[in-house]
Chains A and B, each alone.
Chain A
Amino acid sequence: MTLALGVRRQRSSTLHRWLQGGGRTGAYLLVVGGCALYAFPFFWMVRTSFLPEDLIFVDPPIWFRWPPQWQNYLEVFQVGPFAHWIKNSVIVTVFGVLGHTITSVLAAFGFSRVHFPGRNKLFLMVLATMMIPFHVVLVPQYIMFLQFGWLDTLLPLIVPSLFGSALYIFILRQFFMTLPVELDEAAAMDGASKLQIMTRVVLPLSKPAVATVAVFAFIERWNEFITPLVFIQTSENLTLPVGMMWFRGRFDTFFHLLMAGSVFTVIPIVVAFFFAQKHFIRGIALTGIKG
């Protein structure tokens, strides 16, 4: 690959500047156009959720109708065990976030700031497990929970998540490794135990990383689908995502209700996401770069 040598004079004519400006306008158009395209399904979901049933299939389609039909959101609770689903999802998510975060912080600290024999080999195992598709363990886990009598309860969803997850351990460890070891040593000289070093020195400096992991865990637990699908049979015990599938199975032409239900599934994610997006996106880039 050869480039032409020699210096070129910058064309500073007004035409050139206008072209550059036009380029930026073009870029804005593309971005805004793309946004409109990508936001449209969300818009359509919300719009349909506020429509009365007789207006959903009208041609040409209505873009929005005033007044919005709030009753749809109430009706959703009457035609299915919606309140149970939301309750179950909240339980699973809260336990999941706490469990995942605490355990992963402990393990990541152990893998990065504490030395014990076989530490690095064990960490390689952590990484290796990330490669195995979850579906390999699904059948044996089902059989195990069947024999424990845990099927159709929330236990299969909560207990495994109390033990941390390889991805979060990886993210946190990468982050911990960027903190200078001198901090630990200074605290140790002052008589701090390893646990105290973790809670008083490392953790306060790790808020962005821990927040990222907590938000990741929240989103992953709230959206979890295949595990509740497989481990829970009675419709009242389902979590929200699987409940929505049950819902769709029965009311698959009642799109106004389906959309209202979907809004419930989406709202917590949007809220959590807007709260933490700065950390979150930084966290993803971090995993990508180190990974």
Chain B
Amino acid sequence: MTLRNVASEVVVERPVETRVPERVGRVGQFWRTWSGLLFVAPWLIGFLWFGLSPIAASLVISFTDWQLGYDVNFTGFDNYGILFADDKVFRTSVFNTLYYMAFHIPGTIIIGFLLATLLNLKLRGMPFYRTLFYLPSVTSGVATAIIWFWLFQPNGIINSGLGLFGIEEAPRWLNSTMWAMPALIIMSLWNVGTPMILFLAGLQGVPQVLHEAAAVDGANRFQRYVHITIPMMTPYLFLVLILQIIGSFQVFTTALIVTEGGPGHATTFIVLHLYRMGWGAFRMGYASSIAWVLFVMILAVTAVQFWAAKRWVYYEAEGAAR
């Protein structure tokens, strides 16, 4: 991003004598100190009204057995107890979410990195390719879900394509408990736009001098890639990892529209279970407890990543970690 040097166009030298001396009373002083708050006020009001107070309320509600239309009773940690001890669907949803993450995260990172490397080669028409690979990420989750729902039909184009390769007994994908989640994972690999863009930005920041020095020392392209590019990219890898973790924990639209969580509970994700509890059964208290458990999970996994990052992420500014 280039910054035009506008300062030279605007700055005007004023001789000291013409500056008006400022005299402010107490009201003026108060205004001086706090007027800035006005700029922030609209956001602040919204934050308190729709952010902070709901968060606090949500915690309180999670300690009750509130179901719409019934009395509210304070039940302490009961919801959490049920969640961990008795709710089989919740356990399945956690397993499903982790299963998804185990493939989605490495998949999107690898594909995003490869695409970024390819696009960084300054081929002709690069902006067009970049746009095209990014487009699926901005398409509405619903449209994406419906498109892939169509593609994965038992008599749809994917199975026709498999037939071309001689696979006659194609999986029934969304109707099969074994293949439904793989179908969702494949679908999720279509969405590599953000990782790709971030990696591309990172690749363009790798200093050319390092490559040149290594080339002089006789390193070939592959060695340079492995020993220079990848280590320099670790901050971006870390960022994308965190983003993908946070995102995968919250998969909802896809699961709801493509498979409705089925067949059975094969593709029920944590947030889908939350939705079913809150707006299927209207068990507001229980749904709130699921939300808080989800929050704690995301926080914990992210914290672990930050801790582990010290070992493998290299920041140029701080020098080598060795």
Chain A residues in the interface with B (C-beta under 8 A): 1, 3-8, 24, 27-28, 30-31, 34-35, 38-39, 41-42, 44-45, 48, 57, 59-61, 103-104, 106-107, 109-111, 114-117, 119, 122, 125-126, 129, 131-144, 159-160, 162-164, 169, 178-180, 182-183, 186-187, 189-190, 194, 198, 201, 205, 208, 219, 222-223, 225-226, 230, 241-242, 244-245, 248, 255, 258-259, 261-262, 265-266, 269-270, 273-274, 277-278, 281-282, 284-286, 288-289, 291
Contact = CB atoms under 8 A, between A and B. Distances in A.
A61 B135 contact: no
B131 A277 contact: yes
Given A61-B160, A129-B47, A169-B43, A139 B6 contact: no
Contacts of B50: 137, 141, 159-160, 163
Contact of A288 (B33, B36, B39, B198): B198
Identify whether the interface residues of B are mostly helix, strand, loop, or mixed: helix
> Which of B6, B45, B121, B140 counts the most A-chain CB atoms under 10 A from its CB?
B140
Contacts of B317: none
Nearest to A263: B143
Instruction: Report, as a range, how many residues of chain B touch the other chain.
Output: 35 or more
Contacts of A241: 140-143
Given A106-B43, A110-B39, A160-B50, A133 B227 contact: no
B190 A38 contact: yes
B1 interface: yes
A34 to B, nearest CB: 7
Interface string B17-48: 00100000000000001111111101111110
B135 A270 contact: yes
B241 interface: no
Interface in B86-115: 115
Given A31-B118, A230-B275, A269-B140, 8 more contacts: A27-B123, A38-B135, A132-B295, A201-B10, A223-B139, A244-B142, A269-B138, A288-B201
Interface of B: 1, 3, 6-7, 10-12, 14, 19, 33-40, 42-47, 49-51, 53-55, 57-58, 61, 115, 118-119, 121, 123, 127, 129-136, 138-143, 146-151, 155, 157, 160, 190, 194, 197-198, 200-202, 205, 214, 216-219, 227, 236, 239, 246, 249-250, 252-253, 256-257, 271, 274-275, 278-279, 284, 287-288, 291-292, 294-295, 298-299, 302
Given A110-B37, A163-B42, A139 B146 contact: no
